[in-house]
């Protein structure tokens, strides 16, 4: 027999029905948390894709970024540049305005002659190098994201390659924060090291970024938007005007430092074509032959760069210096070349207690810079 069930006491509470609205609200809250979390992760991932690792960008693009040196009628002659296809280099027109001679210097020190092919209205110059091989930079297949960070790669006046983050196209950093004349013509790259812009301008203060859309026409196999480049017709041209200090490859004794100061002054004044001031660096005997007029005739289109003091007599009577010199191809003895490697021994004496140049002697020939 079954035990009869106990009837519920009328005073006992009845079981509560499920709270439907509460369950819906809880599910909605969970859904919001999931969506917000997903959005947060998506935002974080997007931010990471827009950021740039400047060291990685420099490693990827640096081998294609060159120094551009020129002797010009205007006397500007210094910039950065970027190798594109078939030996062509993009740089700033301001550096090669009315050129007499142009060279590009690769990151590994190789020097190659270059000719001016064309210029654009927004300050881009296209050079054609002679015998320059390397891995060129390419443009991405589509325009960059306006919010993606960018980097500028260029050179200091001392010839050191550097990289700077310059913000995005939507939120650019002020170029004046890190610009110098040697960085004009430098490429703007994305996080993969692809070419998306070029810095141009007549001066550092007026520097601006020529965008990806303009560069597409300049780097095309059949370029558009370029005018034919014109060479300088002046009798006297100059290269960069900054101070030049030789690298010291001998012991840095007080005597060696004194010799370096003398030769640094000699090279700097020659580049600035201050031929009158140069007379103070010559002995009375040497000054009789190397007069201001003779100096001008010999060096009115020259520019000396990359000097190295390789030897020094213990008594300071002589010093040996290797360096490069640019000049006009139609200069006396140029033979249609525009850049040579020199190795010179300088005879030194003291005059009134000051070390001066008493004679110079070329050691060997003067091979072209690109041999």
What is the token pair recorded at 119? 């210029």
Distance of CA 268 to the CA centre of its chain: 22
**Predicted TM-score (pTM) of this structure:** 0.83
pLDDT band at 334 (very low <50, low <70, confident <90, very high): confident
Q: Residue 214: exposed, middle, or buried by beta-carbon count in 10 A (0-12, 13-18, 19+)?
A: middle
> The dihedral of CA 133, 94, 271, 187: what is its sign?
negative
pLDDT surpasses 50 at 268:
yes
- No. of H helices and E strands in the chain? 7, 17
pLDDT surpasses 70 at 256:
yes
pLDDT surpasses 90 at 2:
no
Q: Residue 245: exposed, middle, or buried by beta-carbon count in 10 A (0-12, 13-18, 19+)?
A: middle
**In percent, how much of the chain has pLDDT > 90?**
74
The tally of CA atoms less than 13 A away on the side-chain side of residue 306 is 23
Confidence (pLDDT) at 1: 39
Task: Please provide the DSSP assignment of 319-366 as one string.
Answer: EEEEEEEE--TTSTT-TT--EEEEEEEEEEEEETTEEEEEEEEE-S--
Q: What is the mean pLDDT of residues 211-238?
A: 92
pLDDT surpasses 50 at 245:
yes
pLDDT surpasses 90 at 27:
no
Confidence (pLDDT) at 194: 97
Tell which phi-psi region holds residue 330, choosing left (phi > 0), alpha (psi between -120 and 50) or beta.
alpha
Q: What is the mean pLDDT of residues 35-41?
A: 54
Tell which phi-psi region holds residue 171, choosing left (phi > 0), alpha (psi between -120 and 50) or beta.
beta
Contact 151, 163 (CB under 8 A): yes
> The dihedral of CA 208, 214, 217, 220: what is its sign?
positive
pLDDT surpasses 90 at 5:
no
> The dihedral of CA 78, 82, 85, 87: what is its sign?
positive
Give the number of residues written for the chain: 371
Confidence (pLDDT) at 71: 94
Within 250-309, residue ranges assigned H as helices are 254-272, 275-278, 284-289, 292-299
pLDDT surpasses 60 at 120:
yes
Confidence (pLDDT) at 158: 86
Sequence-ordered list of residues with C-beta below 8 angstroms from that of 186, at least 6 positions apart, any chain = 65, 79, 80, 81, 82, 152, 153, 154, 155, 198, 199
Distance CA 80, CA 156 (A): 9
Distance CA 93, CA 122 (A): 9
Give the number of other Cβ atoms within 10 Å of residue 125's Cβ.
30
Q: What is the mean pLDDT of the chain?
A: 89
What is the token pair recorded at 43? 């935002």
Q: What is the mean pLDDT of residues 52-77?
A: 93
What is the token pair recorded at 152? 């500028």
DSSP, collapsed to helix, strand or coil, labels residue 116 as strand
Q: What is the mean pLDDT of residues 337-362?
A: 95
pLDDT tens profile 123-145? 999 999 998 888 899 999 999 99
Confidence (pLDDT) at 336: 74
pLDDT band at 272 (very low <50, low <70, confident <90, very high): very high
pLDDT surpasses 70 at 20:
no
Identify the top-confidence range among 5-9, 57-61, 228-232: 57-61
Q: Which residue has the higher pLDDT, 108 or 371?
A: 108
Confidence (pLDDT) at 238: 92
Closest CA to 93 of 223, 195, 229: 229
pLDDT surpasses 90 at 76:
no
């Amino acid at each position: 027999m079954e035990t009869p069930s106990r009837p519920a006491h009328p005073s006992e509470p009845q079981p509560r029905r499920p709270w439907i609205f509460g369950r819906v609200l809880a599910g909605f809250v969970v859904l919001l948390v999931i969506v917000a979390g997903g959005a947060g992760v998506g935002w974080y991932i997007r931010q990471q894709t827009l950021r740039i690792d400047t060291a990685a960008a420099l490693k990827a693009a640096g081998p294609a970024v060159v120094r551009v040196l020129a002797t010009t009628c205007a006397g500007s002659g210094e910039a950065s540049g970027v190798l594109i296809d078939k030996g062509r280099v993009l740089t700033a027109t301001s550096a090669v305005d009315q050129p007499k001679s142009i060279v590009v210097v690769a990151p590994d020190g190789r020097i190659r002659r270059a000719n001016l092919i064309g210029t654009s209205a927004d300050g881009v110059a296209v050079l054609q190098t002679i015998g320059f091989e390397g891995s060129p930079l390419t443009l991405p297949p589509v325009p960059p994201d306006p919010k993606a960070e960018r980097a500028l790669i260029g050179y200091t006046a001392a010839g050191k390659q550097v990289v700077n983050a310059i913000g995005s196209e939507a939120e650019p950093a002020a170029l004046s924060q890190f610009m110098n004349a040697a960085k004009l013509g430098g490429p703007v790259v994305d996080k993969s090291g692809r070419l998306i812009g070029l810095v141009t301008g007549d001066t550092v203060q007026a520097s601006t970024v020529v965008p990806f859309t303009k560069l597409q026409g300049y780097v095309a196999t059949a370029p558009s938007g370029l005018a034919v480049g014109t060479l300088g017709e002046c009798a006297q041209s100059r290269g960069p005007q900054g101070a030049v200090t030789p690298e010291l490859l001998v012991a840095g004794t007080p005597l060696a430092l004194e010799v370096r100061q003398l030769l640094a002054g000699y090279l700097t004044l020659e580049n600035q074509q201050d031929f009158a001031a140069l007379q103070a660096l010559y002995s009375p005997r040497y000054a009789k032959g190397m007069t201001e007029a003779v100096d001008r005739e010999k060096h009115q289109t020259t520019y000396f760069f990359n000097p190295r003091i390789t030897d020094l007599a213990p008594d300071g009577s002589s010093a040996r210096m290797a360096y490069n010199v640019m000049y006009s191809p139609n200069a006396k003895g140029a033979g249609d070349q525009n850049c040579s490697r020199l190795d010179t021994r300088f005879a030194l004496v003291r005059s009134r207690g000051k070390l001066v140049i008493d004679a110079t002697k070329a050691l060997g020939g003067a091979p072209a810079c690109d041999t």
